[in-house]
Structure 1
């Protein structure tokens, strides 16, 4: 009997310990588990399953009211596999989830992204929560988080009318995004193929296009719901912008002729006029915004089985002429693709403009939205072969960049006092900024995360900036130095992460990581550093190659303390890192020489003469040497790539396009831009007008060259295949 009692007591004790441990785990986990954190106070919750896809869609705007949301813009540097991010729409709460427990260095890395004071962090198991002024809540918790489609780029829950609804976002990888929303209160009609229904009467010169399926219009437009147009519309109607005017094109049901319905409902005889088969009426409001003014006269005519409604008789007449000349979407496949390419065939609502394409389709109690929500320049549109654009500053330099967000080559313009602006491949201003001081040295285009997405890297007097193509600083940039910076910035990869080196006036070399954090500062002398410092791997040690104002060459140790090694004096007018070595270039007695470091970073063999002449340009890929009006392009292995003798003497710019073996040259005397093929022949339609500076870049996707220059205060762009 005693044995039975003893066994019973032990069993109860074991169960109690297990239960207590479970409760303790549950209580701790519930403090940071999203299912027990988010509630109606948040109003909405965004779950990011794939950060890069979500960032590209600009979907982060749905949590813009969250004080911590700005930190989500710069998470490219956090390379944690399968990282999921939960963000409140209203409260200062962000939760990170990964597949295993959090390490201290991972927590510190993410914490560095939050620049607000008073941010608290807590973690348990796979969850890491950052918050500010957090108080727990237990009313209307969002417990459906696990029901979301993990294949979606992101999921968004919205709390409305005492219930949660969800939208799933999918990046379709072709510039379009699909949104699938569960909305239990929405009921629309059957999706319609609007394209074949209206394309034969829509002029291809129209700008905006907005299709409304009949029942969708009833639910979204209270005037249409009770107005006369609802008496005749069959499948739906289209609202266009044509020559700056709004136009409605509608179908109509059998025996429901629009003009007869309006005549019947007209209250005064003088409200109806007929002229050249065009009927006009006053006193009708057809939709919330048409006509644009109350009681404004409208004009109606019929084409095929459609009715055209405008606010101008002359516009109506022009539309009739366009139709008679065959200038319609149906007869212009290129424009048809511009309007509808990439969108579903069946829809309840479709909207197309120069900045956006969007369609909404109601099916099986779900709303499917396909959209090019910003960045809107992913739209397929006509590519101007030349354009000019004005910017809000005096142009000092231009920097072309392949724009992975919008396609084509965009260009960064900046002024001498540090104001900058990005202009798209078609001349549209995208964003502006101010570096709070003159931009010094070179503005470089880099791929900081090696994912084919590009950023601008540059410095001012004491700051290092890294700006992405949304115009925002990456990670913790800008970095602020205690001392003045004196060199360009080099980048390199060490242990799988991107790092940067820059020199200072105090003989220092600063090493930063891709999040803008200072990793180390080493001192290599008392004189300011004048050449771009480069990182070398010398027998497994991370070492900096440095040249100071006294032309002393040093090797400094970046990870382990050690006295810098002085290599002696060096003749170096320009230097680059090439194949793991530093290549110095200098001129002597009318000839250009190069000298390479050996595998230990020390000076190699004696200087090697390359060619008579002067150094014109040195890039990471080649050196250009000029003698009189002859230009020669060499690799850093001293192999001749290209040579061209130009028929003028005053050359302002010479750009070699290595992918095409062509060059672009500015004649400073005549202010002409010349483009020469790989055979040295002038490209068709050149020369072009240009002033002071010329830059050029190749769009590999379109196999097209972009040339940028300036005239007065405008940027000009020329393109050729």
Structure 2
């Protein structure tokens, strides 16, 4: 199994028994022959990130990936909590095996509902091992102290019982404990797997151990970590020992249409040369004055052609070293092209980095000396340099460069074609990967004291945004169909927005504005209405609060319940949780509706003394709301035929002089009146003295309304009215109209579920440019990131969330 596809997994299986051991750190259970360890603090988030990343989606088509996914299928039935290690290793038959290591929890595996599941108990030196079979996949598991260990290899489980002297190398300890996804790689157990364009370079001969933290978003993979060596002379990375990395400059001469480049830098060629000599174990390295003032050497890739570039600090001295090769061959745009009579010097000096032998031409461009075997290639480099159309000028290279260190010992940049070629080197069978927008992917090593920093970027080029256009930023797929309308919530650390949504299995997800699933939490029932945010400790840290039919939840931003919540109820909660903060002092009141009854709680989960409302005349049909007019507070709600307007203590503050038969629409404070609609389609308003005004709006029975203090919006069949201006929409199945006030502008949205179209209007009832767009739910509209553009979130396919940006 090839390395690149070993890291791109899917996940894992189940069952357990008990044994006693003193090991506490999960790393102590890692098999000695593990070639890769995938560490995750959020396995569900990792799986969904892999599923939603466009690059990994392409990789998932490969034969190697599919084979690995099939082997790991049993892991999908596990429910680990906390840190998980997935170890990949070869058995004595050179077959790839896996082990998963995590702390045991009572819900880690439930076999009750699994089809075609069988198990038996095996014995190893008085210890019990469970052999499990799901469909045709067999796994072996045991509980060792408080650690759950499961593997495709029985022998691996048996060895896990035995505490041996093996200690995982120190590189592993550099991994970030809080990273959702990290990879440790022991290249000593690899074959010829590579991430380099050059066939002569492999992970195994380059360094021994790689430890990286990996950030996976929808369109990018960012890798940061270190690499260390086992044998200082055998690993190629050590040729940079005792040298200082320089700023990579080949970007300034590599044409924007090339396939990529490799850049090596050092402050002293002599030191680098001596290190390379030790690595090759030879005394016959060629010494030449050509490289004495060179601080960077590299290769530009263009189809099958290779151009070698020297970046010199002393152009005159380097030029003098070429005095014997000044036979002019050609001229292009006033740049002279010379013959080069010792082309083998580059392979002799810089192999295995450079194996090019036939660079028989060269030219000089400022401080760059460029050698090639093809005159057209040199002409392309000259033209690009003069026209300033090099890689360094492109937006996609700048975007990649921003995520890398400025100076590095080794830097490789490859475009989509080269990236595909590298992937296919690691494949048993070539796969036709579609990587057209991956224009600048970077791999970088920065040598330090006996180790090197490692950085890599694999990212998709974003389309150029046009003014007034609508861009699809994210399309996030979940494991199950979506139950609730996705909405934005505030991240109190960044002051940006994240997404909260629930699936049909009642799993609640918090998703970053980059599309990363931060956590998944199983709830006892579906969420009623909107998720609210409160600051329960009055310290600026926000919690999520909401109700399900039998619970009130308060959850922190890490997905943990905040005590004493959740509160449990025997009778059903029938309306969304109402959250009141009367004086804006964060003394929250949580109002729970149960049929005819209303209960008020504080943030300690206690009933609020002094709120004495007993019972409504019938079931409450809309979520209770809090309004303030002047210095007075009002709590308003309604049944089918009675509107209640109370004070803080639950006593009647306003009695409408006329009651009506009310629609199920919410209550609003519109023009300082308590406003709703009747079943007959009239606008019903009550002032603070109880005076009633009814205005015929000719709304049908199943109409919708939304309102602010000055703006009323109604939707009746296909007629959308905003401030008395009516727009006739196509006939369809519409969601409620929604009102947004952002950046001193009014926006009104509505979605046709039948035609899968989202409409967004301004306050003048004018449809915004480029609408309607695709969607299958109401939207939430806000500014979710650091730029000025607004974004909105909606449901896409049954199990996907779409985030659009208004440009």
Q: TM-score per shorter chain, which class?
A: 0.3 to 0.5
Q: TM-score, normalised by structure 2?
A: 0.44
Q: TM-score, normalised by structure 1?
A: 0.48
State the structure with bigger RCO (CA 8 A, min sep 6), 1 or 2. Answer: 2
